[in-house]
Amino acid sequence: MLKIYNSLARQKQEFTPIEPGKVRMYVCGLTVYDYFHIGNARTLTVFDMVYRWLTTIGYDVSYVRNITDVDDKIIDRANKNGEPIDALTERMIAAMHEDTSRLGMKLPSHEPRATQHIDGMLSMIGQLVDKGMAYPADNGDVYYAVREFAGYGKLSGKSIDDLRAGERVAVNTAKRDPLDFVLWKAAKPHEPHWSSPWGNGRPGWHIECSAMCKAQHGDTLDIHGGGWDLQFPHHEGEIAQSEGASGKPFVNYWMHAAFLNMDNEKMSKSLGNVFTTREVLNKLDPVQGGETVRYFLLRGHYRSEINYTWDILQDARASLLSLYTALRDVPPEVPPEDFMIDWNEPHAARFREVMCDDFNTSMAFAVLHELRAEVNRTRSTQLSALLRALGSTIGLLTQEPGRFVQGGAASDDDAARIEALIQQRIEAKKTRNFAESDRIRDELKARGIVLEDGAGGTTWRRA
């Protein structure tokens, strides 16, 4: 039985989908004005893992991850760049797909864009206005009346009175209450806009996700996910809008991924410690880098904060490399696509148990390393195949082991030269020319090539 920590209930709960065997999952995606940062990468990778695991245990998953392609940041960046908004968003969406692919992410089932769902947003805003839960203001904006929704604050645990007491937002005289939030923004000169019953304008942030959720999944979802920082105000706003319009529960299970800190400090542009995922990937080995980052992002439980430093990332690489080395030294005889996991096998049963306990990847990784030790001890190709298969359920150990261990973007000619030097060294050792053997080893070492002599012969990898 799968258990999920429900942020709304503040406890783990057994997962029961609305429709047996099927899961409706929505995750807040990216605002595409720039390359996404490594903190975004954690959230995206976590829910890719969730998607994969739900599929592994037999669910038919409709996974929706939206794209916000109209927003103040997008407009400001396009103006700064001197390029059309569509050109910026298309370029950033293409870059997003490149970088998520490098991290081993599957495409979601659906990837709706905000600008494709304006009609749905206008329909929902109209419902809220008709119910007296939203109102057009004199400045042309339409606002949600927070006090008209009795459940406001139930996800974040914030009460309206406490929010008012700590209110620091500049007074907007168009609002009836400082806590009210915008559903529709009146058009400004030289900004994208759409026609509406309240005048030309564009949507507010929260209404986008409510409308896209409804379009893809109906009034009620099984799982809604995102980063921890989205609980308030974004997800709180989504609940108020969706439940206010439909009168039905919006989400049965809320999931939130914790922060990624940079060298023990929260990421902040003012501190200069925000790195894009692309920057991090480009500093790493081109073969090993994407999966190394994925391994690092999943090694801690998704509800626990993790810390990023270069040394921690290199430690993750070494840990992942040990798994691949076992697969290289004891190659599975069965192709990955033909191997069927026996979930009664002790390692597999333990892996499934911890993954079904709120997606506990931290304990799942421990199982993988226990299995690696058994592969190294027994030389069992069956256990080797199981190791690779279990890793693949969460998007790991999917590459050819020998190629991964060697790493690098070397050409076939370069690899052939390395193999030729290794063969020369073998011949030198046969003739007891140890000085030449050592010279070749040192030459390769200077080029960043580490030789490993074993019972099966000499293999190589990049330092």
Q: Residue 225: pLDDT above 90?
A: yes
Percent of the chain past pLDDT 90, that is, above it, reads 79
The yes-or-no verdict on residue 414 having pLDDT over 80 is: no
- Asked whether the beta carbons of 134 and 125 are under 8 A apart, the reply is yes
Decide: 272 and 394 in contact? Cβ < 8 Å: no
**Quick one: tokens of 159?**
């009460």
Task: Specify the pLDDT at position 165.
Answer: 52
Give 131-168 pLDDT, tens digit per residue. Answer: 999 999 999 999 999 999 999 999 999 888 777 654 55
Taking all residues of the chain, what is their mean pLDDT, rounded to a whole number? 93
State whether residue 87 is helix, strand or coil: helix
Fold of 16-260: Rossmann fold (3.40.50)
Lowest pLDDT segment from 189-193, 199-203, 358-362, 450-454:
450-454
Question: Which residues, including other chains, have CB under 8 Å from residue 451's CB and lie 6 or more apart?
Answer: 422, 425, 441, 444, 445, 458, 459, 460
Q: How far is CA 157 from CA 7, 87, 88, 153, in A?
A: 10, 40, 37, 5
Please give the DSSP secondary-structure letter assigned to residue 140. S
Provide the pairing of β-strand 449-454 with 457-462: antiparallel
Q: What is the pTM of this model?
A: 0.90
Percent over 70 (pLDDT), the chain: 96
Residue 170 pLDDT > 70 = no
* Per-residue tokens: 262: 């940079």
Asked whether residue 283 carries a pLDDT value surpassing 90, the answer given is: yes
189 close to 75: Cβ distance less than 8 angstroms: no
Give dist(CA 10, CA 218) in Å, integer.
25
For the stretch 368-378, pLDDT in tens is 999 999 999 99
Q: Is 209 annotated as a binding residue?
A: yes
Please report the pLDDT score of residue 161 as a whole number: 77
Q: Is 131 labelled as part of a ligand binding site?
A: no
Contacts 24+ apart (CB under 8 A), 425-428: 425/451, 425/458, 426/458
Domain 314-404 = CATH 1.20.120.640: yes
Three-state DSSP at 84 gives coil
The reply to whether 356 sits in an annotated binding site is no
User: For the chain, what are the domain ranges?
Assistant: 16-260, 314-404, 410-462
Helices and strands counted in the chain (H then E): 16, 15
State pLDDT tens for residues 253-281: 999 999 999 888 877 666 778 899 999 99
Same fold, 16-260 and 314-404: no
